A = this chain, B = another copy of it.
Amino acid sequence: MTTQKQTGSESRYDKGLRALAEVDGEAGRKVVESLADIAPDFARYLIEFPFGDIYSRPGLGLREREIATIAALTALGHSSPQLKVHIQAGLNVGLTREEITETIMQMAVYSGFPTALNGLFAAKEVFEGNRAAEGEAA
């Protein structure tokens, strides 16, 4: 649980922080914070491996990466909080609402109608939350 100086891994951490901020925004920061008292090292891994290593790779755009993640989380069907974070992340990196709902609908073919339905309801919640927030801001 030490926070020893690591010149190389620090750069993974920094790259990860930047990718996390770009992709997940506020939600990512909250997840990391909520791990502080139970598993602080896991917060670091979460920044370093998924974001520092994977999302920072050049071979696939962030829009495509979020399509892949939304598809997988819809299909697996067991991680509703993370699916919502990534629906928002999809919007953050430039996916349209339609592209997100199309991705989710397509999962009816690969993991069944219930997973697609629950994915669409998750999207509805995220979209409506945003609409409410836009209303407040107006």
A residues at B contact (CB < 8 Å): 1-12, 31, 34-35, 37-42, 44-46, 49-50, 53-55, 57, 59-60, 64-65, 67-79, 81-82, 98-99, 101-118, 120-121, 123-124, 127
Query: Which of A70, A82, A113 has the most chain B CB within a 10 Å cutoff?
Result: A113
Report the copy number of this chain in the oligomer. Answer: 6
Cβ B108 vs Cβ A64 within 8 A: no
B38, B45, B76: which contacts A110 (Cβ < 8 A)? Answer: B76
B8, B39, B60: which contacts A10 (Cβ < 8 A)? Answer: B8
Bound-complex Cα distance A10 to B12 (A): 12
Report the minimum CB–CB distance from A127 to chain B (whole Å): 7
Report the minimum CB–CB distance from A68 to chain B (whole Å): 4
Bound-complex Cα distance A77 to B55 (A): 22
Cβ A49 vs Cβ B109 within 8 A: yes
Cβ A72 vs Cβ B75 within 8 A: yes
Bound-complex Cα distance A7 to B116 (A): 27
Sample (22) of A-B pairs whose CB atoms are under 8 Å apart: A1-B41, A8-B9, A37-B124, A38-B124, A39-B104, A45-B53, A49-B109, A50-B113, A54-B108, A60-B98, A60-B106, A64-B67, A64-B99, A65-B106, A68-B68, A68-B107, A71-B75, A76-B77, A81-B114, A82-B114, A82-B117, A110-B112
